[in-house]
Amino acid sequence: MPGYDIAVLDDAGHPVEAGTLGNIVIKLPLPPGCLPTLWNADDRFRSVYLDEFPGYYKTADAGYVDEDGYLFIMSRTDDIINCAGHRLSTGAMEEVCARHPDVAECAVIGVTDVLMGQAPCGFLVLKRDVSRETAAIESEVVAMIRQSIGPVAAFKTAITVNRLPKTRSGKILRGTMQKIADGIPWKMPATIDDPAILEEIEEALRKRGFGSLPM
């Protein structure tokens, strides 16, 4: 876009090669009309958006620029997981999961792994008319991730659930799901649409060997 000098940097602030996932930033100064600060919070504005990458505005989006110069936004940087030293986009994995003809909705989170640091875990909501064995569908989704993204994704766990926990505005509560999977304390989000869904997620994770603590 005219007036925006967009770059993709690694965590150390160095430009990455075309096709490499990284932090999407905008070189300063920003074009006229852009947000100059946060209301009554100048220090917070600097620490959140300007300090991590000096000379750039941090968008908190993750993505890449292809060989033709097109920018692809894959997810928020919070949704990037570090799996055995590889930065992986859970959004990219969700795109692959959603391609399965039996999958209506999906979500991928990063769960703590002793060997790899983090490992992806997918949740699948199937279409209403699906009568196949869920284990077969889960195996097919795992194979699709391996074929599309590669073994580096280390995607081995897909869990079929009846529904995904969401806020009343429709945002999937991935952060809370991750805390439940990792067995760390969590609080019921005030904006959740149906609190009972988190109990269903907790039970589904427990059956797969993931632990959780009481709220």
135 residue type, one letter: A
Q: What is the pLDDT of residues 163-204, one digit of tens each?
A: 999 999 999 999 899 999 999 999 999 999 999 999 999 999
Q: What is the pLDDT of residues 132-144, one digit of tens each?
A: 999 999 999 999 9
The reported pLDDT for the residue numbered 115 is: 85
Q: What is the pLDDT of residues 104-151, one digit of tens each?
A: 999 999 999 888 888 999 999 999 999 999 999 999 999 999 999 888
Max CA distance (Å), the chain: 56
Question: Taking CA 133 as the corner, what is the angle to CA 131 and CA 138, rounded to the nearest 5 degrees?
Answer: 120
CA nearest 106: which of 122, 118, 90, 127?
A: 122
Q: What is the pLDDT of residues 37-61, one digit of tens each?
A: 889 899 989 998 999 999 999 998 8
156 token code pair: 């081995």
Q: What is the pLDDT of residues 64-103, one digit of tens each?
A: 999 999 999 887 777 778 887 777 888 889 999 999 999 9
To which residue do tokens 């292809």 refer? 66
Structural domains of the chain in order of their starting residue, each with its CATH number:
6-69 (2.30.38.10), 79-207 (3.30.300.30)
136 token code pair: 């077969």
CA nearest 105: which of 21, 154, 174, 152?
A: 174
CA nearest 100: which of 133, 126, 128?
A: 126
For range 25-48, the mean pLDDT: 89
Helix (H) or strand (E) holding 7: strand 6-9
Task: Please give the residue that has the higher pLDDT: either 33 or 199.
Answer: 199
The reported pLDDT for the residue numbered 3 is: 80
pLDDT-based confidence at residue 214 (cuts at 50, 70, 90): very low
For range 6-23, the mean pLDDT: 90
